[in-house]
Amino acid sequence: MAPERWDLEADVIVIGSGATGLPAAIRARDMGASVIVVEANYDVGGHALVCGGNVALGGGTSQQKKYGIDDSPDILFRDLTDWSVVEINGMPEYRYNDRGVQRALADNEARAFEFLLENGVEFVDKSPDNFGAHGIGISAKREHHCVWDKGQSLESPAGSGGTTLMRPLEASARSKGIRFLLNYHMDVIFREQPNKGRVLGIEASFTPTILPGTTTPLKSFHSGGNIDMSAKTVTVKARRAVIIGTGGSTGNVNFRRIFDVRLTEEYPLAAGEFSPQDASGEIAAMAIGASLWGTANQTFDRNGTLRKRPIIGTPTNYIEWKKESPIFPKVGATGLALRNWQNAIIVNQMGRRFYNEMHDGYPAGTFQGSLDPYVPADWRNASRIKYTPTNYIDAALAINEGSTAPDYAAGPQWAIFDAGAVEREKWNMNQASVRPEYFFTAGTLEELASMLTRCPHQKVAMPAANLEATVERYNRMVEFGVDEDFGKPTPMHKIATPPFYAAWATLTVHDTYAGLRINMDCRVMDMKGEVIPGLYCGGESAAGCSQHGVGRAITQGYIAGMLAAVEPLG
């Protein structure tokens, strides 16, 4: 039902300013629509701002053609629906994709690439490759890489190009007159009737970011076009359509457990402080009749869904963050990059090792050349994969003797090391390196174990005797050069020189692969398979895709913005 009054209005309202939201907003504006982007954060860019800047787009982009890569919409569609391709852990890469959604992606990805170029995004002038690619089809190389510049070293993680993808899009959006309502979290989507009629607009609440010891909310680093509101709650009318680009659900513990009950609260979302992916788009749409869809892709352990990261001592263990970054105020710590797991062991909440620490933590996805030969839709393809189960992930999430009611959660994992490891890793540990409730040091292992309940996710006390026995046994295996328990290749360094350390090393939850049901036009659908008029969705909040990364989000934003702009006026 419509509210009594509207505080703001535009033809198209876009929720979220990430890889779906900005392309959708720009495309709608190019089509002549007025646009307001509503963003919960203090700045623009969403999860895509912290991505690697690796953009998987195929179907015959101009860069593919320039370097002689044979690709087309038909080849791409065939790839993205090939039931016979499986990852090394046995998970089918494309079998559970929505075929209509994949057809729309295949037909529009090359156009979306040209759209990026037209709006200022620069790509490295080289042949597309497979670096950083997951789930993009294996008949052709499709990964395009954004040019990195000085800006990315500040705003994005080290080694990332998210800035050079998103900042040009933001600049284009602002130059075209798109308005931004920042620090407002979308809470409600209004429809004419609870489960009937067209979408009318949204309600959003003020969600400022205020640093400890201050009273002034953080502000956007680019001010042109920002709407200055002082109300705690605002209503925003959509004369034509609302587009959901809220970024998925892996930051919402109860929502993500719909698909995987193991993912209790101790498992952080990568970069979740900056981009929480709280399922707000999905929840608000479901409240007016939208359907969930494509849950298989989320339930199975697809590559990248759960990750063991080499960053320890902080729950945002995505990648090392720079203190100068405008993202840093929300992240709070750079983290310590553990470059060699020979320098540490990992224990569960009860102080016991459970697997080979050298294991990389998640399986490699398929890519061109991973099947030799590759015959599309051939039943023998699966037998050509060398099956490699992801036991590290499953062991880390397993119930152990420390689990308690009601969830019987496996609890966090801790990296245990000593002063020798600090010296070998050449760590400069300071206040900005780690979060104090996720990093502990002590003169003895007994004292170290007693500290861990200061972490909010260590629900039970770690028995000191367990940790001492684990380290003692590991040190003996170092002497013999053989890990008899878990097969760590030639364990090299004892944990014997105080002080001793325990650093957060818990698995990270990453991508969302399930969400709202959409059709080929990115229109949201209800439980009857009917379109909800005036409501669109794309990216990680939308279902039917197994592709990792920003390519599908950009393409769906491109589609949604184009069609939302020509919806009938309400």
Choose the weakest-confidence range: 239-243, 389-393, 561-565.
389-393
The residue count for the chain = 570
Mean pLDDT of all residues belonging to the chain: 91
Asked whether residue 191 is assigned to any structural domain, the reply reads yes
Q: Note whether 100 and 192 are same-domain residues.
A: yes
Per-residue pLDDT for 408 more than 50?
A: yes
Distance separating alpha carbons of residues 344 and 417, to the nearest angstrom:
5
Model pLDDT, residue 221: 65
Model pLDDT, residue 88: 85
- Closest C-alpha to 48, from 148, 123, 150, 156: 156
Asked whether residue 307 is assigned to any structural domain, the reply reads no
Per-residue pLDDT for 82 more than 80?
A: yes
pLDDT tens sequence across 498-548:
999 999 999 989 889 999 999 999 999 999 999 999 999 999 999 999 998
Model pLDDT, residue 515: 97
User: How would you classify the pairing of strands 233-244 and 8-15?
Assistant: parallel
- Per the structure, the complete domain to which residue 396 belongs is given by 312-509
pLDDT tens sequence across 411-464:
999 999 999 999 999 998 887 889 999 999 999 999 999 999 999 999 999 999
Model pLDDT, residue 212: 63
Q: Note whether 375 and 260 are same-domain residues.
A: no
Percent residues over pLDDT 70 in the chain: 94
Q: Note whether 188 and 324 are same-domain residues.
A: no
Specify the CATH number for the domain of residue 280.
Answer: 3.50.50.60
The two tokens of residue 404 are: 């308690």
Choose the weakest-confidence range: 18-32, 195-209, 293-307.
293-307
Model pLDDT, residue 153: 47
Per-residue pLDDT for 353 more than 60?
A: yes
- Closest C-alpha to 249, from 506, 456, 537: 537
Model pLDDT, residue 160: 60
- Angle CA 451–455–458, to nearest 5: 90
Asked whether residue 1 is assigned to any structural domain, the reply reads no
Per-residue pLDDT for 273 more than 70?
A: yes
Model pLDDT, residue 49: 85
Q: Note whether 358 and 253 are same-domain residues.
A: no
Model pLDDT, residue 363: 60
Q: Note whether 288 and 372 are same-domain residues.
A: no
Which of 483, 509, 535 corresponds to the end of one domain?
A: 509
Beta strands (DSSP E) in 4-123 are 8-15, 35-39, 54-56
pLDDT tens sequence across 312-339:
999 876 777 777 676 777 778 888 999 9
When pLDDT is averaged across residues 382-388 and rounded to a whole number, the result is 86
Residues contacting residue 199 through CB under 8 Å, at least 6 positions apart: 189, 190, 191, 238, 241, 242, 288, 532, 533, 534, 535
Q: Note whether 66 and 146 are same-domain residues.
A: yes
Specify the CATH number for the domain of residue 339.
Answer: 3.90.700.10
Distances (CA, A) of 140 to 14, 143, 375, 381, 545: 33, 10, 13, 17, 18
> How would residue 369 be classed by pLDDT, with cut points 50, 70 and 90?
confident
Q: Note whether 390 and 269 are same-domain residues.
A: no
Q: Note whether 218 and 318 are same-domain residues.
A: no
> How would residue 298 be classed by pLDDT, with cut points 50, 70 and 90?
very high
Q: Note whether 270 and 163 are same-domain residues.
A: yes
Percent residues over pLDDT 90 in the chain: 72
Q: Note whether 453 and 335 are same-domain residues.
A: yes
When pLDDT is averaged across residues 225-240 and rounded to a whole number, the result is 92
Model pLDDT, residue 326: 62
Per-residue pLDDT for 470 more than 60?
A: yes
Per-residue pLDDT for 253 more than 90?
A: yes
Asked whether residue 228 is assigned to any structural domain, the reply reads yes
Distance separating alpha carbons of residues 235 and 233, to the nearest angstrom:
7
Per-residue pLDDT for 101 more than 50?
A: yes
Model pLDDT, residue 152: 46
Choose the weakest-confidence range: 59-63, 239-243, 404-408.
404-408
